[in-house]
Structures are given as C-alpha cells and as structure tokens.
Amino acid sequence: MDELRLIQTPAPHIKSVIHVPGIMMMVVLALLPATIFGIYFFGPAYTFSPLLFSIVSCLFFEWFDCKIFKKPVSIQDGSALVTGLLLGLSLPPGSPFWLAIAGGGIAVILGKQVFGGLGQNIFNPALVGRAVLLISWPKLMTTWIAKASFAFPNLEQGALALPQGVDVITTPTALAVSKGYGFSLLNQLEPKIVWRLFIGNVPGCIGETSALLLLIGFFFLLWKGIVRWDVPLFFVIGLAGVALVAGQNPLFHILSGGAIIGACFMANDYTTTPLFFKSRLIFGFGAGAITGIIRILGGYPEGVTFGILTMNAIVPLLDKLMPRQFGVKKS
C-alpha cells in the first residue's frame, strides 16, 4: 500500500481556473472596439504612434526593471500590455512619440514596479503615468483634434473657419466648452451633444470618445465574471450627484471625458480597489464625486484621473475600517 502523504501549500487553497494572463487578454479584447473606433475616427496617422509607443514602452520598462533587479521577467502575464493600452487610449490623438514613451516608463516604474510589481501597487499604473504627463506637459495633454465635421467651434474666434482641403483640426472638447462657457451655450451649439457623446462623434482622447463601445466591452467582462458592477455604478452615482447639486446635466458628465473608461476599466482594477462591498461603495462614490467636483470647481475640465488616484490612496483605510472575517458565515 502506498504511503499516504500530506502536502501542505500556502493559501489560497481553492484555485480558480481563470489565470492572470487570461484576465489581461480578456481586458484587451474588451477594449478592442473602442480602440478600433478611435483609430478609425481620428485616423491612423494620429493614433498609431501614441498607442504603439505606449504599449511597447510599458513592455520594455517592465522587462528592463526585471533584468536590472534580477527578478523573473513578468511581461508574459499581460499586465504591462493592459497598462500600455489604457495609457495609449487616454492620450490625445497626435501626441508625440516621446510623450507616450515617458508615460509608459512612469506608469510601469513609478506606478507599479516601485511597489513590488503586479498585485502590490496601490495606484492604477496607467493613471499614474497620465497624471504625471498631465502635470508636466499640460498643453500637449490638453490639445485635441477631430474631423472637421465633428469639431466644436472656437468660441473665442467666432464661427468655425476651415482652410480649404483641411479635414482634421484642433478643437476643444465638450467638457472644455462646458467648463469655459457653460453647458447651456454648448447645448445651444450642439442640441444632440449627449447623443454624440454616447456614439463617440466628439473630440477627446483616443479611446474615451465612444461611451457605447466602452460599455459593450465592460458588459462583456461582466458577463465573463472578470469585473464587478459595484464600483462603476457608484462612480456614476457620485458623479451624477455632484452634477445635480451644481445644476448641470448628469448624463452629460457621465458620458463625457474619461468617465466611462475610468469607471469601468480603471477604477475597477483588482489591486487598487477595496476588497469588500461597503468599502467599494464608498470608493466608487468618492471617485465619482471628486471627479465632478474637479470638473465643476477645479482648474481642469476633467477630473477622472485625480478622482480615482485620490481614492486609490485611501483603499487600505477603507479595508481597515470595514474588515471582514473570512470563513465565518452570518446567522
């Protein structure tokens, strides 16, 4: 009779069939519709460079960090690919290649590897990269282009005047127009602005324009069990609540800027969000509310980046205030 052996392993003892590379590939697949739309809408000449260099730089800096510090190379887990894609989608079309490279290095080194790598970072790496770029090069990060037929008028110069043969021009975003001149004037200029924001026929970052395609990707991940619904929902509630208090259209704020991609793909990150439902409720609501406050009262027309990063910083506190005993069932 064979000798019985007791094999002891560290927790968790119940393994999931879903592994990290599989999760990351699912996220990439969910982001593909918005990515393809951004390339089509703004044109390959304005989108390939930011997307390509942000992805390649994130992969390179993760490999470089592992080699320098003699750690196992971890680019095969797909996390650097997702970081690079999210960073590229959050850059303005037409961004110079070096801006994407700088953002990739900052996102991976300062946002992830300095904390110990995957699963140990306290801030979303892509948002760390974007925040540093926004502070360091604000003009480059807030210069937008769009097809002439979908651009907003330059209100400081009067009517939109286009040189003959020009198809793509520099234009403000819907949030910038609303911030500078008020939503009522924007609504007069574009009565169907909410519909345009939902479809994606507006200036903005490469991957944040089409709320419809981003939501399709999110519901795909929700169907696959990769993400949860609570943080995005309460993010939207927090943002809409601030908009209502300020007397502005909540639907406009939900669909504009990076609210959808931030709520569904960045605020919903496994590592940088709380573990338990009540703390996740506070996290999502707080990120959305801070986003709305920055948009309405702050100097930037957009606030998603700083709203999520602020709540990332207090995740340990939220988990500590609302602890949960594993293995105990309430009667």
Inter-CA distances, 115 with 20, 70, 118, 320, Å: 19, 16, 9, 20
CB 109 within 8 A of CB 58: no
Residue positions counted in the chain: 331
CB 100 within 8 A of CB 91: yes
Per-residue pLDDT of the chain (331 residues; tens, 9 = 90+): 456 666 666 666 666 667 778 889 999 999 999 999 999 988 898 999 999 999 999 999 999 988 898 888 878 888 899 999 999 999 999 899 999 999 999 999 999 988 888 888 899 999 999 999 999 999 899 888 776 556 665 554 444 444 444 456 667 777 877 777 676 767 766 678 888 889 888 888 999 889 999 999 999 999 998 989 999 999 999 999 999 998 888 998 999 888 999 999 999 888 889 988 889 999 999 999 999 999 988 888 888 999 999 999 999 898 888 766 656 666 5
Domain range list for the chain:
20-141, 168-321
Pick from 236, 252, 244, 323: nearest CA to 287: 236
The pTM (predicted TM-score) of the whole model is 0.87
